[in-house]
Amino acid sequence: MNRLSCRLAAVASFIDNNDKVMIDIGCDHALLSIFLAKRYPNLKVIASDINKNALQGAINNIKKNNLEVRIETRLGKGLDVLKEEDKIDTIIISGMGANTIVGMLKYSRNKLINVNKIIVQSNTDLYFLRKNITSINYYIADELLVKDNGIIYTVIVFKKGKKRYAYKQLYLGPVLLEKKDTLFKEKYRKDLNTLKMIVKNIDEGHYWYKLKLKKNIRILEKII
Ligand SMILES: C[S@@+](CC[C@H](N)C(=O)[O-])C[C@H]1O[C@@H](n2cnc3c(N)ncnc32)[C@H](O)[C@@H]1O
């Protein structure tokens, strides 16, 4: 079995036997796809990447593991690589910025018809990510913080369905807020210090941005 980083293992932990056909978008080396194909013999896996060299690396790794029959590779951008007949039910997008993730999901909403689960690992603007994905008929089913090489990563699982969220939940994560584990406190303590530094150094021209940061600081000060 391939050894996965703690970050990728956390992403993998949200796949289960109910998932039938999944795509790992931006697979790079395809280590995650290889791990999942081995662990779930009935799971059909598609591994895609926009970068030709990255995909070639994935193809080489898949061959080394004799998984060519189990993992199909596709070159292309986001969900563009999907065909109707794929009947994808699960999407993984890991290690990408919130803007890219939201862009690819919103741009290809017609490809989401059969998709019940979207597992996302991103470390940029999680408020924006949660707000936008929950606006396209997905709710936040689970969340996990994982520390890997000193960095705390957030993994979010969206499932088909509607739920309304308060600003604070979209900012900090509704499930993470419920759990409030030690990594939660460590992560948001760091974020609070960073926000205070930014607010101190920001010039007066950025009035609305400063107001938003101050609002987030007040939220963080109450929960930590
Ligand atoms: C930082 S790597 C993450 C690799 C792996 N998913 C992980 O979590 O370790 C990001 C990968 O996404 C690919 N990528 C970036 N934008 C993409 C897009 N719009 N569609 C598909 N792949 C993309 C890059 O080529 C790169 O291989």
* The pLDDT value given to residue 2: 58
Per-domain residue ranges of the chain: 6-169, 180-224
Q: Exposed, middle or buried, 80 (CB in 10 Å: 0-12/13-18/19+)?
A: middle
Expressed in angstroms and rounded, the spacing between residue 35 Cα and the centre of ligand 1 is: 17
Confidence check: pLDDT of 1 > 60? no
Mutation choice for ligand 1 from 5, 14, 96, CB with most ligand atoms inside 8 A: 96
Q: What is the pLDDT of residues 58-110, one digit of tens each?
A: 999 999 999 999 999 999 999 999 998 999 999 999 999 999 999 999 999 99
Query: Rounded to two decimals, what is the model's pTM?
Result: 0.96
Mutation choice for ligand 1 from 50, 59, 93, 106, CB with most ligand atoms inside 8 A: 50
Asked if residues 26 and 95 have their Cβ atoms less than 8 Å apart, the reply is: yes
Query: In CATH terms, is domain 6-169 a member of 3.40.50.720?
Result: no
Expressed in angstroms and rounded, the spacing between residue 55 Cα and the centre of ligand 1 is: 10
Q: What is the pLDDT of residues 144-187, one digit of tens each?
A: 999 999 999 999 999 999 999 999 999 999 999 999 999 999 99
Which residue CA neighbors atom 2 of ligand 1 most closely? 95
Closest CA to 158 of 190, 197, 132, 188: 132
Q: What are residue 135's phi and psi, to 5 degrees?
A: -85, -10
Expressed in angstroms and rounded, the spacing between residue 169 Cα and the centre of ligand 1 is: 27
Which residue CA neighbors atom 22 of ligand 1 most closely? 26
Expressed in angstroms and rounded, the spacing between residue 127 Cα and the centre of ligand 1 is: 21
As a whole number of Å, the end-to-end CA separation of the chain is 40
